[in-house]
Structure 1
């Protein structure tokens, strides 16, 4: 068997799973019910496997802290960005970037951070735009900005 799993350390994997279930189409695979610091939850979302682990300094598992740099995020393609972003905000997540339409590129995107310190970038594709076309548009915009 081969595959990829995204592992994330959170302060409370059971609460994080509940949050993600309220925002995305999540399918729980394995969820434990142990003492705080020992729990984990495995779920799939849109074909990707995620593994949440409780923060536990004894095992060198540290969740992101407020103010930490966020060099990584999860990029999720969704069918209805306004609905998904609204559910995230309603569930207690913080807006980083509101839903923004990039009409020339055929997409809308939005960014939120969750209460567990992770950043989520949402994309909705409205129409396919080839890599070559996106590159041409970007180069034109860069050129226009320099004039």
Structure 2
């Protein structure tokens, strides 16, 4: 397994994984080619705020991904480059799950955020993935609250 930071050459593979991941949630989703073009434009406009990590096995095909969104925080005296990070859109092809690919992707994305100086890394997880994140050092926090639209 090879984990690496995604580049422009990976947009089509990332789009495919995002498209596959959204199939059940978005029954009327657009065609893959159209989505690939939109993803390319969207990612290009983010100027480094969203970084994707990808997993490959033996060939060039992507078998998994994890994104990290990097958010600048309001500066404080003596700390003008504060940063937060959020792990997003982790997905591994169903036939490749159970072999540590997702964990390796999340670890790479979280390590990237920490290297850049992120004060904390969050993730909003589905219930089944919580144990994976806990094994990687993520913990519940009483200080992290959510508000849902009414």
What TM-score results when the alignment is normalised by the length of structure 1?
A: 0.28
Counting strand residues as a fraction of each chain, which structure ranks higher? 1
Counting helix residues as a fraction of each chain, which structure ranks higher? 2
